[in-house]
Amino acid sequence: VGVFFRPLEKIAAVIETYPKGIAGFRRYLALLDTEAEIADAAHARPVTALRGEIAFDRVSFGYDATRPVLQDVSLSIAAGETVAFVGPSGAGKTTLLALLPRFYDPDSGMIRIDGQPLAAMTLESLRSQIGIVSQDVFLFGTSLRDNIAYGRLGASEAEIVAAADKAQLSALIAALPEGLDTLVGERGVMLSGGQKQRVAIARAFLKNPPILILDEATSALDSETEREIQAALEALSVGRTTLVIAHRLGTIRAADRIVVMENGRVQEIGAHAALLRQGGLYARLAG
């Protein structure tokens, strides 16, 4: 499975900027060099406690008019389901998932959550229902506590400690000179890639959204770290609709379904064994 399931770093920039609201969103757009503006529709209403059933209905999208990136994508995902997205680099996996928090709107087609079109929900409330964990985590030059609490401002100390524990950060915190008060980032302790990822996971536990987008790391982690992260992600995904841009065979096999994308289209959907038997694109990528 290696090389074909490459990373999508772009969504990483998203992660850390969008919770800061429209300013962060603008920064994200600036990063991507686009001028798109997504505003709340007049009829938009705040949503809370979505179940997390997702439907892409004949969705097409291009960053510019001349080149379609997603073509006629239809896909229904049950609440609580874990779906792995795989396919060659440039297939459109990141782009498809970026439509869910409305970093872009489709050119045609419709996306619904729990039967409601995305545009019927206020942007802020929609994004409050979606957690994103990526391999590139932005850390503020403040304490580890603040960096975790960023997942949900106003979280109590007990909630922060519990989230850190579920994200497998307890041993690290115990080993740091000042525990949760330790400064991280450029002004303090530099965290490893695996540790940063666990900070992102802790943030997601605090946010507690019904929908998760995971951009699985491709960077090599030592096997113990990898096991810890895998365990934390598995715990995080329980009871949530989880969309994983997947690079690891273990993740792909464990998914309820695998969506195989190529050239902006969904080519195959199914569980690992069935797709292998089918002998199509997935079987070729995995072979």
Among 3, 30, 45, 89, binds ligand ATP (CB under 6 A): 89
Number of residues interacting with ligand ATP: please give it, by CB under 6 A: 15
> Binding of ligand ATP at residue 91 (CB under 6 A)?
yes
Instruction: Establish if 8 lies at the interface with ligand ATP (CB under 6 A).
Output: yes
Binds ligand ATP (CB under 6 A): choice among 51, 57, 63, 181: 63
Sign of CA dihedral 246, 249, 255, 259: positive
Q: Does 32 bind ligand ATP (CB under 6 A)?
A: yes
| 3-state SS track over 48-112 | CCCCCCEEEEEEEECCECCECCEEEEEEEECCCCEEEEECCCCCCHHHHHHCCCCCCCCCEEEEE
Q: Considering only CA atoms, which of 229, 225, 226 is closest in space to residue 237?
A: 229
The least CB distance from residue 190 to ligand ATP, in Å, is: 26
Stated length of the chain? 287
The tally of CA atoms less than 13 A away on the side-chain side of residue 92 is: 24
Query: What's the Cα-to-Cα distance from 259 to each of 84, 201, 274, rounded to whole Å?
Result: 6, 24, 12
Q: How many CB atoms lie within 10 A of CB 65?
A: 7
In the complex, what is the shortest distance from the CB of residue 97 to ligand ATP, in angstroms, rounded to a whole number?
8
Q: How far is the CB of 251 from ligand ATP (least distance, A)?
A: 14
Residue with Cβ nearer ligand ATP (53 or 215): 215
Among 17, 95, 135, 241, binds ligand ATP (CB under 6 A): 95
Contact flag: residue 6 with ligand ATP (CB under 6 A): yes
Of 13, 14, 54, 69, the one binding ligand ATP (CB under 6 A) is: 69
Residues at the interface with ligand ATP (CB under 6 A):
6-8, 10, 32, 63, 69, 87, 89-95
